[in-house]
Structure 1
Amino acid sequence: MSKKKPLSQGQRRRMRANQEKRLQRKDSGSNASELQDSSLGPEQLGTVISRFGQHADIETESGQLARCNIRRNIQSLVTGDKVVARLAKDIETGIAGVVEAVHPRHSSLSRPDMYDGIKIIAANIDQILIVSSVVPSFTTQIIDRYLVAAEDTGISPIIILNKIDLLTDEERPEVEAALERYRDIGYPVYQVSSKSGLGVEGIKDLLNENVSVFVGQSGVGKSSLINAMMPDAELQIGDVSENSGLGQHTTTTAKLLHFASGGDLVDSPGVREFALWHLPAERVGWCFIEFRDYLGTCKFRDCKHKNDPGCAITAAFNDGKIAEDRYNNYHKIIASLDEQRHARHFRSGSDE
């Protein structure tokens, strides 16, 4: 018997869309009788704390938490969105309101999905805190990948080196020199130890009045750093479930948490790490901010910025205007893009 041909990307996408439509019809049918317009109070402003399916957990300006249905005409709703909601006049448990409209976003955080393309996972982010550490090893290549992702979103990046209590005297000069190179091109850099508390207060000041996202590889101490500033993070995650009377549907959805000292945190596995395969090489070059003065001035339009004659980027590198590790990391990222796209094509298939 012949093997079944794997479903293509388009076929899988259509199957998921049909499944979602059936679920939406089921949800709307079961909740329509619960919340008629006559049972709803006046419109008020709120913020999406988390979103799953056809429901969203909304926090009003007065601090009230409520699980709400989402009007069908709302095409996109994610954690951090500012919304107009109407809550039920008599709230006990269950669905307690309706999201009527969404305000325009001043920023959005997306991640590429192997099957669904680009997905928005959070909105109205003010800054991305890129966490690195000296253990297991300090590397500028990882920092540069996150900087490219941050620059692509237009959200301000801040570099944080964690676990500096483990930095040896032999390692210190090289690490300090690398961090100084980032300062020289305009990036804020902070050094902290979530274990000893060194530098943590300075990070708290950064977070005040801002909506922030922490990103970084596993093992750099993101969770420890967040816990040092937000000891009750786990309690906050459970607040909405307790107030609404409904359990969280998933632990992978993005959530908006509040720092006691001021400011908010968007926490989700989906925003902690980035992939770059969706970016064209030209965009990656633009995301290296010190390249921008030279982009478009190379002799050839399709210049690869390596061994091409008349390359303005290579000339700037040779003149010491672009750091060696940044120049090399750019080419490593470009080399990895084709590999990642090939892996995506192999995994997803295509009928286009």
Structure 2
Amino acid sequence: MAGVDTSGTQQGEGAGGDETVPADGAAAPAGDTGRGRARWSDRTGRWRRGWWPAAFALALALVMTLHSRVPNRIGNLGSLLQTFLPWVGLLIPVLVLCAVLRRSLTAVAALLVPLLVWLNLFGGLLLDKTGSGGALMVVSHNVDADNADPAATARQLADSDADLIALQELPHETVAEYEDALAADYPYHAVQGTVGLWSRYPMGESEPVDIGMGWTRAMRATVTTDFGDVAVFVAHLPSVRVQFRAGFTAEQRDRAAELLGGAVSAERQGRAILLGDLNGTMNDGALAPLTSQLRSTQGAAGAGFGFSWPAGFPMARIDQILVRDLEPVSSWTLPGTGSDHLPVAARVNP
């Protein structure tokens, strides 16, 4: 007769002890030994994990949303952030990777917030808004004072078939080379200090514009086009630097932007174009004296961000073509010329 089993094995337990009943009395899923609970199918852990990636995601969204509120009092931090603001979005894929590694639905849900904010800020720039035609084509280029072949740069710009070419950072000793190379295609030109304007159309008298530098880095001229007179400003605002102790040194540029903005505001001619190296992006609130009254051709009729600097690996669009009472049709960058900037071009209609 069989004896009574008093070994303490519960009903349903196999002889090998491979299948046990959890302490809370609920049957464990087949093959689940407890090690697989950090899975997406975990009923509670997937929501409780990943609070740190989620918090960083929400902080990132807040920074992008309130970028214009970041103060410049400490090292011009606000302008520095706004200059490279599109690149802040690269943190989103990093946080996505963290969320995936943590298998956290909380972090994934939170990451939708900065993604939507970034798309709201820059999604429009990803669309191709370029059109065909255009009554006037303009080019602006910081040619670089250390350019090894000014004549070749000038010829390359002339090959673009632009109606107006604005140059910045013209050393006095190389002005003649640019003049000689552009003379055949551009019979009208004017140079003031280190900036110049070449035109296929007749130009009135040019004059320097004071931007507080102590020497001329901005000018204004009237160009008589097929559709009437246009006031053309050419400017090279002061450079900015990122220094360990001083931060983003942009005070001089900001003062120059205010003075240039005042000159544009005082311009009596309705149609106006500003061509130049502004050492700042359209996101930079410090350029509000200009962006509040002029329209960016890249934002209105470009495709992509149109980064122009540095030429080897463009990270920011600091070379601008801004217009008033003109309709941008297309905007783009031209191939490198040997300068540390890329030329920028646009077509506009009256």
Please state which band the TM-score falls in when normalised by the shorter chain. Answer: under 0.3
TM-score, structure 2 normalization: 0.24
